[in-house]
Structure 1
Amino acid sequence: MPSIKRFSPLKPKKVLFIATRQIGDVLVTTPLISKARELWPDAEFHFLGYRGKLDMLKGNPDISEIIETSDRPGFCEYLRLFNRLFQRYDLAFVTQPSDRAYVYGLVSAFHRVGVLGGHPQGLTEQDKSKKSKSEQQNAWKKAICLDVVDVDYFNQHVIAEKLRLLSVFYKDPQELFSKPISVTPPCGESIPPDIAMQLHAPYVVVHPGPLTAYKRWPLTYWQTLITWLCEQGLQVILSASPAKQDLQLNQDILSLLDQTTRDKVTDTNGSLSIPQAGALIRNAVLYIGVDTSITHLAAACNTPTIALFGATPPTNFGPWPNGYIGPQPYQLRARSQTVGKITVLQGPGDCVPCRKAGCDDRADSRSACLDLLEPAQVITAVKLALQT
C-alpha cells in the first residue's frame, strides 16, 4: 500500500528560517516565506543567515527580525548566538543541508523541517559510496525533524525544494503549486547620483561576473554582444559585485571596446548595494547575465532576463519566472527556452548540464559549453526579448 503523507496541525507563533549560504540562496527562500505567511498570518517570522549575505531580504514585509552570524564563528560568537536562539521558536525551517544549519535549528526550535543533501542521479560507483555515507550522516537530521525534503540537483527546482518543506502542514500538498509562485526582491534604494546622472533610457543591464570562473562567458563574446547592443541605440550598464575578480573582469571587457562603444557604456564599478542593483534593474528594458545571484534578482524584479547557463541544470537553479504555477518551469537541456520573461540559454553538448565545476571540475576551470554558446545565439534571444 502507498504510504500516507504525514500531516502536522502545528500552528507556530514564532518561526525561524535558516539559510546559511550565499546571497542567491537567501533570495530563493522568499517563496517559502510568502507561502508560510499564507498558512500562519499571525506568526512572527525571523531569519538567520551569514553576515553580509542578507541584503536580499531588505524590506521583506514578512520578516520582523534578521539575525546575522559569521560564516566561521569562534567559540564566543557561537555561545552568544546559542543563548539568543535557545528554544525561542516553535518551528525552524532548515533550508540548507549543512550540519551547522541543523544544529542551529535544533538549538532554536521545538520542531523542525529541513533539506537533506545528496548526490545527483546517474552516479558512479564511487559516488554511490558517497551517497550511502551521506545517508548515514543524515540519519540524525531525519530523527529531529517533522519532515525532510531530499535535494535533487537535476529534476527538482530549488524553489520547489524549499516549498516542499511546507508539505507536512498541508492535508493536500499539491496545493503548494496550485497558485502563482513568485520570488520577493528586496525593496529598492536610491541609485548613487554619480551613476543615476549617467542613465538614459532605454538601457540594458549586463552582469558578466559569476562567483566562480567556470561560469564565465568568454571576454570576446561580451565585446561582440555589447558592441551590438550599443549599435542598436541601447545604453549598456555594466554591473558587478565589489569582488576584485568581478571588477577586473569588467575592466578587461571595457579594454576590448572601441572608443565609440565605450562612450555608451556605464560601469557601476561594484558600487551598488543589492537593493540599489534591484532599483537599477527594475528600470532596465533587459538584463543579461550569467548563472549568479544578480540574475535571480533580475527575474524577481520582473525585468526581461536572459541567463547564460553552462554546467548548472536550469531545472535546479534557473531564475524563477515570477507568477509561474507548478513545481518545474524548465527542461533539463534546451539551447534556448523562454518561460514568462525569462530566457535560459545553454551551449551544445550531450554533457550539458553536467553540474560539475567546469570541464576540469574545479572552480578555476573553463566550461566548453559556455565557450560554444556563441554571441549570435544571445543576440537572437535579445531581439526576441525586446519585441515582447
Structure 2
Amino acid sequence: MHFCLLQLVVLSVITLSAVDEVHLPVHRQPPSLFFSGEAEQQLCLAIQCGDVSWMQSLLAAGADPNAVGRHGMTPLFWSYLHLQESSFRFLLSVGCDVTVPVSLPPELWPDRRQMDYSEGDSILLFVARDARTVSWMLAALPYANGVRSRNERTGVDVVQAYMSRWIDNRWRPDVAEEFVKAGIDLNALDNRGESVAVLALSHSWYDAVLWFLEHGTSPDTYNRDHWQLIHHVAMEYRVIQGRLKAFPESQQEWEASDRKRAWEQLVRHLRERGYPLTEALIDLERRQQLVDELPYLVWRRLQRDDRYCGENGGEFREYVKRRFPEDHPYATWLPPEERK
C-alpha cells in the first residue's frame, strides 16, 4: 500500500503542476481536481490501488463513498477510470449510487481508446458500453433503479448502452437474461424513439431482435421518422437481397446459415403479430408521397391508430395539430387510450 501511495502522491504533484499548462484527460487528473475533502481524496488513492482494506479503514474514519464531486465525479466512477474491479465491487457493496450522471468539460474528455465517453451517462452506462467491463455491469445491475439508469440527454438506458457496441461480434442471451432479472424495462425508447430491438437489428442480430420481442419489447412503437420496427426489418431485407444479388456465390452459404433461420423466425413472428413484411416494403416505396396533405408514413400512422403505442405520442399529437386548422378532423386526433 505504501509503495502504491508514494507513486500516486508523486504523480499527483506532477499532475497538479501541469494542470494549468496542458489539458489532461480525466483519468490522468488528481483526485483533488474533483473532491475538496481530504478524506475523499485519500479514498480515491486507495481505489486506484485496488486496496479494499485501505478503503475500509478510510470509510471507518469518515470518508464518504457516495461523495459527488465536480462534474459528477464519484468514488465509484473513479474505480472505473482506473479499472479497479475489486474497488468497484466493494463500493457497490456499501451502497454507492450507480445512476449519478457525469458531465465533464471538453478539456477533460478521455481518449476514446481509454473509454467511450457520452455526456450525461452514469457509471452504469459506462460499464455497460465497455467491452472490458461486462462483469462490472452484471454486478451493478441490481442497483440500476429502473428509469433512473437512463441518460436524460440521450434517453439511452443500460440495455441500449450494452447493445450499442459489437459484443465480440456475438449476441449474449445470458447477459440479456440478467436485464430481465434486474427488472429493466425492455420496451424503453431512446430520444429518437428507437427501441433496443432496432438497435439489435442494426447489428444484424436477428435472434436478438426476436428475443427482445419475446421478452417485452413492443413492435408497435414509432421513432421520430414514423418508422416502426417492421420498417427497419424491411430495410434490412433490401440489404440482404442487394448483397445476394451483388455476390450470388454467397447464396448457398446464406441458405444454410443459422442467420437465415433466425431471420425467417423473426419475419414470421412479426407477421403473426400483424406486421407483414410485404406491407412494410410498400410503405418504404411510398414514404416520399403525400396523402391528405401529409407525408405518407404520418398518414399511415393515423390510419393505424388502433395499434398506436409509444412514448412519443404527445409529440405526434402536437405535430398533427400544427399541420391542420382547428376544424380539420386530424387536428383533434388523440391516441386511443386518451379517447372517451
Higher helix share: 2
TM-score (ref. length: structure 1): 0.20
Q: TM-score, normalised by structure 2?
A: 0.22
Structure showing the higher strand proportion among its residues: 1
Structure 1 or 2, whichever has the larger Rg, is 2
